[in-house]
Structure formats: structure tokens, C-alpha cells
Amino acid sequence: MGRPGIGADEGEDPLNPTGSNLPTVREAVFVLFITFLLTIGTQLLGFFLQGKGILILAEMMLILPALVFVLYKRFPMVSVFRWHVKDLRLIVAGGMIGIGLSPISDALDRLVQKVIPMPPEIMNALESFMRFQSPGEMVLLFLTLVVAAPVVEEMLFRGLLQGAFERSVDVNKAVFSTALIFTFIHFNPWWAAEILIAGILLGVLAWRSNSIVPGIAMHAVTNGLSLGVINTGSRKLNWYEFKGYVAPQWIVLGAALVYLGFKWVYKLTQKESSHGSHS
């Protein structure tokens, strides 16, 4: 079974305290491999179709193998994907962390672009894909990036995959391994550092709360703010920038929000985690 880590003991899963009848690491990795192949196929299809509608199809394809596997094996879906949440304040805390992480990720991205610039054709293609030209495209991008992507990715990575790792190895290794795989499957080396950091924070949040719901809130907020910044235009962001970088005060404020958000999460989950830990 998984061992305690990241500064505190882990509480038992209230719906499956012994960890029985849940996917193994081998099974979770196999599902992820099938998902990886399906994702490549969907992206190739998107290359030929050249439409934003492929985005939401790609997200749905991402979770399909996991859903089929869990249903076929008759695993308890709520426990496998960690859908339970005991305190709704954890969702607010997750959103707070997402707000704080956004300027930090943006600052890191701008720094990486200065050192190792993304090829203009890739940058332009990504920005074009993220910009909406009509209310219909705005709704589609919102549903895909702010609703579907956080739900699907947290179910797959922090639910199925990290949950299996936590039952087999030290939780620190479980969180970091999941974050590495999460980074790799995004296929973007220029965003690797910020995705890895986000993956680690999401992993800690899922482990500590034993739920993906706070992470969904965090994930949705960061994606939503990124979408908003791209579609706002640089001229309207003078208050946010300093010489082409994120102004230092916003980075400091972001770090404070991340710290306070996690401090709140640990406080809200302290009683639960003190009741016991996996052996």
C-alpha cells in the first residue's frame, strides 16, 4: 500500500478503506498507453479536419478507455476517479490556488520563450486555435478547455493513475510520476516546466483531499484565465505587464494565494488525515 508523504499522513479512502477492488499500477498504465495511442489518432484527425470542434472530441477520447476499463472490470467508479468531496470549501481553496498559479505559470512561460523561443508557426497556430471569432467558438472553447479538459484530465491522471500509484509506492513518487506523465502527454516541450509544476500541485491537492474535485476547480480556473488573457489582447494588459514580463507584484500575489490555498486545504483535511494512514 502507499506510504505517507508530503508532510502529513494520508487518510483512508472513505469508500474503499482497504484499497481492494481498485486498479493496479499495471492496469492504470495499460489504460494510459491505450489513451496515448487514441490521442495521437485524434490529433492526426484534427490536423486534417482543421476545426476547433475536434478539441472537445479529443477530450472525450481521452477518458473513453478509462471509462470502458472501469465499467468492464466493475470497479467502483466514484472511488477510482475520486469523485467524492467532504467539504465544499476545498473547491474554493482549489480555485484560489488556480488563481495564484496563473501569473506564476505565465511568468515562467514568458521566461522560457525568451531563452528557447517557440517556433513562430507553432506559436501562431496555438494562438489561432485558442482565439474565438464568434460567440459559438467562445462557448465551444469554454466548454472544452474550462469544463471538459479539467474534468477528463483529473479523472484520468489524479484519479485513476495517481490513485493506483499511491496504493503501490510512496506518495511523493506517486505525485511526481503522475505529474511527469501528465507533462509528457501534453506534447509541448516549451510548456513542460509550467505543466509539471501544475501537475505536482494538482497531485498534492488530490492526495491531500482524496478527491479530484478541488483539482478540477484549480485546473478550470487556470485554463479559464489563460483563455481570457489570450483573447483580451496585450494592449489591455498594461496593468499586468512590466517590460514584456509579468509584473513582480502579481507573481508575489500569486505565490501568496497558492500558499494560503494549500494552507487552507491542509487545515480542512487535518482531522481526516489524523485518523489513520495506509500501511
What does the pLDDT read at residue 241?
86
The verdict on residue 8 lying in a domain is: no
pLDDT tens-digit series, residues 152-205: 999 999 999 999 999 999 999 999 999 999 999 888 899 999 999 999 999 999
Q: Residue 4 has what pLDDT?
A: 57
pLDDT at residue 234, as a whole number: 64
Tell whether 137 is covered by a domain: yes
Report which DSSP code applies to 246.
E
Distance, CA of 30 to chain centre: 20
Please report the pLDDT score of residue 278 as a whole number. 43
**Domain housing 170:** 25-273
Assigned domain for 51 exists: yes
Q: Put residue 23 in one of left, alpha, beta given phi > 0 → left and psi -120 to 50 → alpha.
A: beta
Q: Would 18 be classed as within a structural domain?
A: no
pLDDT reported for residue 14: 43
Question: Taking the mean position of all CA atoms in its chain, how far away is CA 44?
Answer: 23
C-alpha closest to that of 223 among 152, 161, 120, 123:
152
Count of structural domains within the chain: 1
Structural domain includes residue 162: yes
The H-or-E segment that residue 193 falls in is: helix 192-209
Non-local (6+) Cβ contacts of 143 within 8 A are 56
As averages over each run of 10 residues, the pLDDT of the chain (279 residues) reads 54 46 94 88 62 70 92 95 93 98 94 91 83 88 92 96 96 97 90 96 97 98 92 80 90 98 96 47
183 and 199 Cβ atoms separated by less than 8 Å: yes
In a domain, 5, yes or no: no
| 75 grid coordinates | 470497479
* Predicted model pTM: 0.88
pLDDT at 158: 97
Q: Report the C-alpha gap between 202 and 22 in whole angstroms.
A: 21
Please give the pLDDT value at position 134.
Answer: 87
120 exposure class (CB count in 10 Å sphere: 0-12, 13-18, 19+): exposed
Nearest of 28, 71, 272 to residue 174 by alpha carbon: 28
Query: Which positions ≥6 away from 262 have C-beta within 8 Å?
Result: 93, 97, 201, 204, 205
279 located within any domain: no
DSSP-based three-state secondary structure for 84:
coil
Residue 83 falls within a domain, yes or no?
yes
